[in-house]
Homo-oligomer: A and B are copies of this chain.
Amino acid sequence: MPDLSASARPVVTRKDVARLAGVSTAVVSYVVNGGPKNVAPATQEKVRQAITALGYRPNVTARALKMGSSRILGMVVPKISSPFFASLAQAVEQAAEQEGYAMLLGDSRDSLTVERRHLSNFADRQVDGVFLCSVVNHRPEVSELDGRGIRTVLLNFSEYPLEVDAIGPEFVGSSRRAVEHLASHGHRDIALVQGFVTGNTLDGREFGWREALKGMGASEGRIFRCSFDRAGGYDAGRRFLALTERPTAVFITSDEQAVGFLRALHEAGLRVPEDVAVMSFDGSEESEFSWPPLSTVRQPVQQMAEAGVRAIIGTGRDEPPRTQVFDCELVLRRSCGCDEP
């Protein structure tokens, strides 16, 4: 039987290192941090050796207490199993890690109550900043964080408020271009599948779609409103199919919804893009492997995440909040009629 009595956990502290190296604890700190004061090279060497000999690792919690900074960022998403938020979380985590920050993840499960709980929880934990993908489109939530001096960045908002940092895609223009592309395949009757948006403002995607229709002098298009997930898209698809005179193309506000919509179409035996052309929004990996592969508007997730991290850790407490809008790329695959085999 192997000796597993490891539990004798000999927590090594700065003091132990100091003792072994024959110096004071202050010097140890100076060495570890390249600290505010110089240390003679010979002493540095002694300390370094003591550190490796004992396997000392500084206690991050103590540091956090003293410095008032945990080097932790929080991220709140409505649903991590949504591929778009997952890729966003991935990108944020990566950008944060590069700067030496860790990321707390909070999944709101589409509930405002849970979202609030996460936010207040993160605040209590003294995170240095929060990325918020809210389930709603206003920001009373942010005030609490703001009051506690926690920098917050709104992600994926369809309207850009000025009182707080916000980062998101250029919804209107890229949506317009996407719809215009459908038109370039000869479609005149282009419907919109639009996720529910709270608040009284128009979603940028809807606005872009309207602009495009107006621009091509088309009649007013149909709108199918549904939840922002696969089931919502499926449901919208069923309603679409029930129509007697169906639009020939659809612009859908997320890849996830598009996948659900496609399933409804397939069930009914309709072909994409021959019977109905489809264009969606987000550009998640899922869009590439659906059938047919989805033409979509790809958000520059990586860049947005990096900008967000910079906004949080590289910004003074007194600088005014900024809104940063990112251009998207039209990814043309089969579902719109391009790229035929």
Contact = CB atoms under 8 A, between A and B. Distances in A.
Tell me if A's interface is mostly helix, strand, loop or mixed: helix
B146 A6 contact: yes
Interface stretch (A28-36, A61-69, A203-211, A323-331): A61-69
A103 B102 CA distance: 10
Contact of A121 (B70, B102, B146): B102
Chain A interface bracket (under 10, 10 to 19, 20 to 34, 35 or more): 35 or more
A289 to B, nearest CB: 4
B230 A289 contact: yes
A109 interface: yes
A216 to B, nearest CB: 31
B58 A267 contact: no
B149 A341 contact: no
A289 B262 CA distance: 9
A257 to B, nearest CB: 10
This chain: copies in complex: 2
A198 interface: no
Contacts of A266: 291-292
A81 B86 CA distance: 5
A94 interface: yes
A147 B10 CA distance: 9
A267 B341 contact: yes
Interface stretch (A123-131, A165-173, A239-247): A123-131
B293 A7 contact: no
A300 B109 CA distance: 18
Interface string A97-132: 100001111110100000001100111111000000
A302 interface: no
Contacts of A149: 6-7, 9
A105 B105 contact: yes
Contact of A288 (B107, B126, B230, B341): B230
Top 3 closest pairs, chain A to chain B, by CB: A9-B149, A105-B105, A81-B86
25 contacts: A7-B149, A7-B317, A9-B149, A57-B123, A60-B125, A60-B126, A61-B64, A80-B93, A81-B87, A81-B90, A89-B105, A93-B105, A93-B107, A97-B117, A97-B121, A102-B104, A103-B104, A103-B105, A103-B106, A259-B286, A259-B289, A263-B291, A263-B293, A266-B292, A290-B290
